[in-house]
Amino acid sequence: MNPANLPFDSETMLEGLRTWVECESPTWDAGAVNRMLDIAARDMAVMGATIERIAGRQGFGGVVRARFPHPKQGEPGILIAGHMDTVHPVGTIEKLKWRREGNRCYGPGICDMKGGNYLSLEAIRQLARASFTTPLPITVLFTPDEEVGTPSTRDIIEAEAARNKYVLVPEPGRADNGVTTGRYAIARFNLEATGRPSHAGATLSAGRSAIREMARQILAIEAMTTEDCTFSVGIVHGGQWVNCVATTATGEALSMAKRQADLDRGVERMLALSGTSNDVAFKVTRGVTRPVWEPDAGTMALYEKARGIAKSLGAELPHASSGGGSDGNFTGTMGIPTLDGLGVRGGNVHTLEEYIEVESLVERGRLMAGLLATLE
C-alpha cells in the first residue's frame, strides 16, 4: 500500500473540518466540549467504529473512545490520542471567523488540535475505502482537558496507552515540517495572598493589600526565569470592592524546563515563596505537572519508521523535543513508543490569528496513513 496513491483531497477535508472548528469547545465549558465530542463520535460511528462514552469529572467534559473493526481486535495496537478542548471561549468564532486565504485557513482550535485529529480520521477512512487491513488494530481517544494539564483524564490516557504498542499524537507539526520526539516538563502552581481589609478611603493605612503582595510576587516569580527553566503568571484575580483594601488575591503560574532536574529545582524555588511579609500571607501550592519526556530507543525507532515514510512521499521529516506540554509527555514517559507533532502545520496557536497550512492536511494525512498501514 502506497499512501501517495490514496485519494486525499484537501477541499473535502476542509469541508468536514469546518464543522469541527465552528463547534467551539473551550476547556472550561463542559457542555461545549461534549457537543464537539458528539460530532466526532458520530463521524467515527459512520466509519464503522465501536464508540464508548466515558463521563467527565471535576467539571470537565467526557471522553470518547473509538475502536475500529479489526481481525486482531482486543490485542495491543495503535492508539491515536488527541484532545478536543481549546483555549478559545465560546464566541471567538465571531472574531476568528472560518476563512480561507490562499494556503492558509483560520479558525479557533483549527491548528491546536482539531486539524490533526481530523486528518487522523481521514487517514483511517482512506485506508478503509482502499479495503486495506492494517497490521494492528486502531483505537482513537479524544479527551476534554489537555489545555489545562489533563487533570481529569491522565489516568484514562495512561491506561489506554498501556494496552497498545504505539501512541500517535496529532498535535500541531513543527514549522520545519518536523515531528516531536520529546517534550519539556511543565508544572502549574496555585498562588494565594491573604491580607487585612480596611476602608480604602477612610482608613487606608490600616489595611494590608493582598493585591499589592500578589503584584510583588509576580515580579519575583517571572524574574526567576532562566534558559533552563521559565516562569510565568497567566491568571490573576483579586479584590471585590474598589473602596476596600483587598483581602485576597489568587493566581496561577506555570514553569517549564527541558530537564526534570531543572524543573524540580524550579518547584523548590516556587514553594519556598510561601510565607508572610508585611502582614500579608502568601501561599504557593503545586498543581498539575507533566513529566519530562525524553525519547528512548522505542520512540526513535518509531520516528525512523515515520521518516522513511515521509521520504517515500518526497519530504524530509526532522525531529526535536518541544516546549509546551501534550499528553505525549505521559505516554512517552511510560516507555511506550510515542510520536507527537503528527498534526497539521500552522501557526499563531492560542491567538485570534490561529491558522493551518491547507496543503499539510493531505501531506500529514498520507504520513498518518503510512504509519497505520505499516506499524506492526
Return the CATH number at 118: 3.40.630.10
33 and 122, same domain (yes or no): yes
74 and 220, same domain (yes or no): no
Split at pLDDT 50, 70, 90, the class of 169 is: very high
Instruction: Please say whether the beta carbons of 360 and 345 come within 8 A.
Output: yes
| pLDDT tens digits, one per residue of 221-269 | 999 999 999 999 999 999 999 999 999 999 999 999 999 999 999 999 9
Nearest to 63, CA basis, from 87, 37, 43, 81: 37
For residue 278, what pLDDT is reported? 87
63 and 199, same domain (yes or no): no
The number of distinct structural domains making up the chain is 2
| pLDDT tens digits, one per residue of 64-116 | 999 999 999 999 999 999 999 999 999 999 999 999 999 999 999 999 999 99
* Last residue in a domain, options 246, 272, 289: 289
* Last residue in a domain, options 289, 313, 344: 289
Choosing from 24, 29, 145, 146, the catalytic residue is 146
Split at pLDDT 50, 70, 90, the class of 324 is: confident
258 and 308, same domain (yes or no): no
* Last residue in a domain, options 230, 258, 289: 289
Is the predicted pLDDT of residue 323 greater than 90, yes or no? no
For residue 308, what pLDDT is reported? 98
For residue 172, what pLDDT is reported? 98
276 and 194, same domain (yes or no): yes
155 and 43, same domain (yes or no): yes
51 and 147, same domain (yes or no): yes
Q: What is the mean pLDDT of the chain?
A: 97
243 and 119, same domain (yes or no): no
Domain encompassing residue 73: 3-184+292-373
Question: 157-175 burial, b if ≥16 CB within 10 A, otherwise e?
Answer: bbebbeebbbbbbbbbbbe
230 and 352, same domain (yes or no): no
Q: Give the integer Cα–Cα distance in Å for 356 and 348.
A: 9
| pLDDT tens digits, one per residue of 16-74 | 999 999 999 999 999 999 999 999 999 999 999 999 999 999 999 999 999 999 999 99
Instruction: Please say whether the beta carbons of 86 and 113 come within 8 A.
Output: no
Q: Percentage of the chain with pLDDT > 90?
A: 98
For residue 223, what pLDDT is reported? 98
Q: Catalytic: 9?
A: no
Q: Alpha-carbon dihedral of residues 266, 254, 223, 226, nearest 10 degrees?
A: 60
For residue 176, what pLDDT is reported? 95
112 and 259, same domain (yes or no): no
Instruction: Please say whether the beta carbons of 355 and 106 come within 8 A.
Output: yes
- Grid cell listed for 102: 490562499
Choosing from 24, 29, 43, 85, the catalytic residue is 85
Q: Catalytic: 146?
A: yes
| pLDDT tens digits, one per residue of 330-339 | 999 999 999 9
206 and 111, same domain (yes or no): no
171 and 234, same domain (yes or no): no
| pLDDT tens digits, one per residue of 110-144 | 999 999 999 999 999 999 999 999 999 999 999 99
